[in-house]
Chains A and B, each alone.
Chain A
Amino acid sequence: MTMNALPPPENRTKVVEIKDLVTHYGDRMILKGISLDILENEIMVIMGGSGSGKSTLLNHLLGLLKPSSGTVRILGQDINAISEVEKTRLRTRMGVAFQGGALFSSMTVGDNIMLPLKEHTELDESTMSIMARLKMEVVKLSGFENLKPSELSGGMIKRAALARAIVMDPRLLFCDEPSAGLDPVVSAAIDELIISLRDAMGMSIVVVTHELESAFRIADRICVLDRGDILMVDTVEAVRNSSNERIQNLLNRRLEEATLDPDDYMRRLTIGI
C-alpha cells in the first residue's frame, strides 16, 4: 500500500484535475467549489457519508453530469468541453465498476465483459473471448462466463463488473462502493483485488465509498467529503490522526456503529417479548 517505488507526487502526472467544481440540484448547492488532483498510479478514495456529495462528484468525473461551474479534466481533457467523438474515445480509456454492477441482465457474464471490445475494437470473436477470459481470470471469476448476472452472488457481480471495467485496459478505473452490501470476508477480497489491479496493471484507481475500513485498507490518499466540501486530502495516517472535529466525528460515528454490544443489541430487539 505504500508508494515507495513511485516518484514523489510532484513529479507524477495528474490523471484527474478538478477545479472549483460547483453543482446545484435545483436551488440546492451540492458541491461547493471543490478542487482535487488525482495522480497517476495512486488509489484515491473519496470518502463521505450519505449526502456528502460523493455520488454527485463521481457522476461529474464520469461526465454524466454537467457542473454549474468549474472544470473536470480527465487524462488531460476537459470532459465537458470535448466533442462527442472525443468523449467516446476518452471513455474507452477509463473503466467504471458501478455499485450494483450494472451488468446487462439479458446478456451472459461473458458477453457483458466482451461488450466494450465488441463495440470499440475490430477483433475477431475468439480473440475477444480470450481477452474476456483473461480478465475473468484476473478477477477470479473463471468458468462463470455462461451464467446470467441474476445467477451470480453479490461478490461475484462486483467481480464481473470489475472485469468489464478493465477489459479495455483503462488507465483510469472508477469503483463506486466496491464493498457495500458484502460480508467482511468478501469485501476484503474485493479490496485486495483493487490493490492488485493497481500494482499489476499500473492503473490509477478512484474509489468512492462510505466504508471506513475498506477505505483505510486500500487508499494511498483519502479525500474526505462532507456536505459538499472537501475537509482534507491526505494519506491514511494523516486522516486517521487529523484533529479536525468534523473528520473525527465522521470517523467516530462509524466506529461506534462497529463496536456494537451484542448483548445490548439482543436486549433491545427482544424488549417486551
Chain B
Amino acid sequence: MPKRLVRIAEKTGRATVMGVAEIGYGAYLFGESLFWLIMGKRRRQPVRLRAVMAEAMEFGVRAIPIVAVLSSTVGAMLAIQGIHTLKTFGAESRVTFGVALSVVREFAPLITGIVVAGRSGSALAARLGTMRINQEIDALHVMGIDPVRFLVAPALFAMLIMLPLLTLLADFVALTGAGLYIGVQLGMDMPAYWDRVIEALSTDDLGHGLGKSAIFAVLITLVGVVNGSLVEGGAEGVGKATTRSVVHAISAIVVTDMLFAFILTR
C-alpha cells in the first residue's frame, strides 16, 4: 500500500512539475512574441504583415459563419429563458436588460472563445506538431529564422485582433437574435428594442467583454502553440496534442471567465 501511495505521489508531482513547466513555456513564448513584434524591425527580422493577414483570415474571417449561427441561437435562447423566468414576477418587459448585459459581458466572449479554441487552437497545435515532426522547426532554426517570430508572433497578433472583433460581431448578432424573439413575444419594434439595449449597456460592459476576449485570444494561441511544439511520437502525438489543446484552451477560457466575473462583477 505505501508503495502505491508513493507512486501516486510521484505521478502527481511529475504532472504538476510538467504543468508548471508548460505554463512557464507559454509565458516565455508570449514574451518572445511581444519582443519580435516590437523589436523585429530594428533587428531587420520583422514579423511579416502577410503572415499576420493570412492567420487573421483563417482565425477570424473564416470563423464568421459559425460564430454568427451560434451567437444568434444563444441570443434567442437567452430571450426565451428570460421571458419565461421573468413571467413569474410579471416583469417580462425587463428581459432586454438581462439579455443585453449577459450577452455582452458573458455569452458573446465565451461562445466566440470556445468556437475559436475548437477551430483554431486545434489547428495551431496540429500545424506546429506536424512541423516539428517533419523537422520544419529545426529547418527554421538552421536557416536563422526564429520560429517564434515566424510562426507564433503572427498567430498571436492575428488572434489578438480577430477575437475581439469576432466578439463584437457576436454581440451584435446575439442581440439581434434575442431582439427578433422579444419583438414578436412582447410586441416591441426593433428601434425601441435597440434603444433599450443601448440604454442598458455602458461602455464598461462592452470593455469587460472585449477585454476578456483579448485574454482568451492569448490563452488559445499559447495553449495551441505549447501543445503543438511539445509533440512527440509521430502522427499519434499530433492527434493527442490537438485534442489536448482544445480541452486545455476551453478549460482555461471557462476558468478565466469565472475569475473575471468573481473579481470584476461583484
Contact = CB atoms under 8 A, between A and B. Distances in A.
Interface in B128-182: 130-131, 134-136, 138-139, 141-146, 150
A64 B138 contact: yes
Nearest to B131: A104
B45 interface: yes
A91 B43 contact: no
A196 interface: no
Contacts of A91: 141-144
A100 B139 CA distance: 11
Contacts of B145: 115-116, 119
B233 to A, nearest CB: 16
Contact of A104 (B45, B136, B142, B144): B136
Contact of B135 (A89, A99, A120): A99
Interface string A106-133: 0000000001100110000000000000
Contacts of A92: 144
Contact of B139 (A85, A87, A96): A96
Contacts of A99: 135
B144 A102 contact: no
Interface of B: 43, 45, 130-131, 134-136, 138-139, 141-146, 150
Q: Which A-B residue pairs are the 9 nearest by beta carbons?
A: A91-B144, A102-B139, A88-B144, A102-B135, A96-B142, A98-B135, A102-B136, A62-B142, A116-B143
Interface residues of A, number: 23
Contacts of B131: 104
Given A96-B142, A99-B135, A100-B135, 5 more contacts: A64-B141, A98-B139, A102-B134, A102-B138, A119-B143
Contact of B144 (A64, A89, A98, A100): A89
Question: Which of B45, B134, B142 has the most A CB atoms < 10 Å from its CB?
Answer: B142
A173 B222 CA distance: 34
Nearest to B133: A100
Contacts of A96: 139, 142-143
23 contacts: A62-B142, A63-B142, A64-B138, A85-B43, A87-B144, A88-B45, A89-B144, A90-B144, A91-B141, A91-B142, A96-B139, A96-B142, A98-B135, A99-B135, A102-B134, A102-B139, A104-B136, A104-B139, A105-B136, A115-B143, A115-B145, A119-B143, A120-B144
Contacts of B141: 62-64, 91
A119 B135 contact: no
Interface of A: 62-64, 85, 87-92, 94, 96, 98-100, 102-105, 115-116, 119-120
A64 B45 contact: no
A116 B138 CA distance: 14
A61 to B, nearest CB: 10
Contact of B138 (A62, A94, A105): A62
B165 to A, nearest CB: 24
A85 to B, nearest CB: 7
A92 B44 CA distance: 14
A94 B135 contact: no
A47 to B, nearest CB: 21
A62 B138 CA distance: 9
Nearest to B138: A64
Nearest to B139: A102
Given A102-B134, A119-B45, A64 B142 contact: yes
A94 B136 contact: no
A74 B143 CA distance: 15
A63 B130 CA distance: 22
A112 B43 CA distance: 22
A80 B98 CA distance: 61
Contact of B134 (A85, A88, A100): A100
A84 B130 CA distance: 26
B251 to A, nearest CB: 29
A81 B130 CA distance: 30
Contacts of A116: 143-145
A55 to B, nearest CB: 11
Nearest to B43: A85
Nearest to A168: B143
A116 B142 CA distance: 10
